[in-house]
Amino acid sequence: MAEQATVEQDHEGGPGEDVPAPVGPGPGEGSLLDQLAAERDEIAHEQTVDLPVPNNREVLWATYRLLPYAQTRALAEQAQGGDAAQELNAGCDLIAAACDGLWLRSPETRERAPWPEGTAEPVRYTPALAALLQIDLPAGAGHREVIRLALLRDLAVTVHAGTLLRWMQGATKRVNDEFSGG
């Protein structure tokens, strides 16, 4: 059995009593809790799902990555208790934040097809996507407008965001189970 390091500590119970020395750095960066949180985040970051983008005949697909719990929770709370516009904006924000990239799937072979050809960076919900889909955007448009126009209907955005959020909830549970060894 390994010897445990001790330090002398003065306290009301008696001066000079030996107590176990702390292992590793104290609270803050590099602490054991921070290391565990970083390990859990790494496991979570590896979780992805491929979903068809609505209203594209299952040709346009998106790969989504599990977001950190705090970010997912904040976006879910943003959608709750608000009006339809607030819910729609939160859905767009969730979709954009989780998107790892968009790609095409061949209807014949069901395999990924490179899109656009010759690019190293994946396409995301940006004005570049609108240009590829030949969608006219208003000046200064951001990801919310791109998503709303690419998915064609606000209801499709809400349903797609709901599907993504349900996947995230299940993936978070699986990560927690894996991390806790259960």
Per-residue pLDDT tens digits for 56-71: 888 999 999 999 888 8
Per-residue pLDDT tens digits for 65-109: 999 888 888 888 887 877 889 889 999 999 999 999 999 998 888
Q: Write the secondary structure of the chain as one string of H (helix), E (strand) and C (coil).
A: CCCCCEEEECCCCCCCEEEECCCCCCCCCCCHHHHHHHHHHHHHHCCEEEEECCCCCCCEEEEEECCCHHHHHHHHHHHCCCCHHHHHHHHHHHHHHHEEEEEEECCCCCCEECCCCCCCCCECCCHHHHHHCCCCCCCCCCHHHHHHHHCCCHHHHHHHHHHHHHHHHHHHHHHHHHHHCC
